[in-house]
Amino acid sequence: MSHIIALVQRKGGVGKTTLAVSVAAELHRRGKSVALIDSDPQLSASQWAALGNLQFPIYELIPSEQMTVDWARDVRGVAAKHDYIIVDTAPSMRAVSTAIAIANIAMVPCTPSGLDLESTVKTLEIINQIRKLRDGYPKVILIPNRVDARTCEGNQLVDELVSFGEVVSSTIGYRIGFVRAFSNGHSICEMANGHEGHREIQDLCDRLELNLNTEESCDDNLSLLPPVCASQLVPMAH
């Protein structure tokens, strides 16, 4: 039985790929069987893995306009071979809704930016529409990302995310270790200057595993929305 965790956000540039690779690497370090699905046409996660230093497999599976059902089938095929599947997504509505339709946890990064907060609201609207069709799934973890917790902006971001009524993880800092990890094709735990960043990813994975321990795994008992239906959702008016 597998857990499918989707990194989703309706805005780009929030650190989805960095978190996807870092979470996958930490779960692998903990002895889990994990694979990462790179479903973003930019293929940033695949570029990260190009040097061959990551210790878990990455599959390039890009959902197309006509092939979302086939994409979901392929993801579930990979999931049948692993304990954990991490899905790195594009910021488009179709990509977000398709991933949410098959995930049992959605991880939503948000940086200290008004634009990111607005996009988080839009992302949660999509999630809540799909939850109505999936008996409350997916569960959500909001991630305050690239945050300096010592600043007013960092604390305000956490307060704003808490107000949404979802689980909020501890903060992830804006650290050069993550940048260098990408450049070297390694995970943050392998970087000489990555201790603080790795500790933050460990805390995030602790929260993730705690949530998963109280949820059903993504098997036939978990309500799954056909992605072709999810892709037809429309944004709520503001």
Residue 179 located in a structural domain: yes
| Total domains, the chain | 1
* Backbone phi and psi for residue 42, each to the nearest 5 degrees, phi listed first: -70, -20
Residue 125 located in a structural domain: yes
- Structural domain including 204 reads 3-223
Residue 157 located in a structural domain: yes
pLDDT recorded at residue 63: 87
pLDDT recorded at residue 116: 96
* Backbone phi and psi for residue 47, each to the nearest 5 degrees, phi listed first: -65, -40
C-beta separation of 118 from 22 below 8 A: no
pLDDT recorded at residue 65: 62
Residue 236 located in a structural domain: no
- The tokens for 1 are 């039985």
CA gap 208, 223 in Å, rounded: 20
Residue 238 located in a structural domain: no
pLDDT recorded at residue 225: 59
Domain of 60, CATH number, reads: 3.40.50.300
Residue 230 located in a structural domain: no
Residue 119 located in a structural domain: yes
Give me the residues of the chain with pLDDT under 50, please. 217-222, 228, 230-231, 234-238
pLDDT recorded at residue 155: 86
Residue 229 located in a structural domain: no
Q: What is the pTM of this model?
A: 0.90
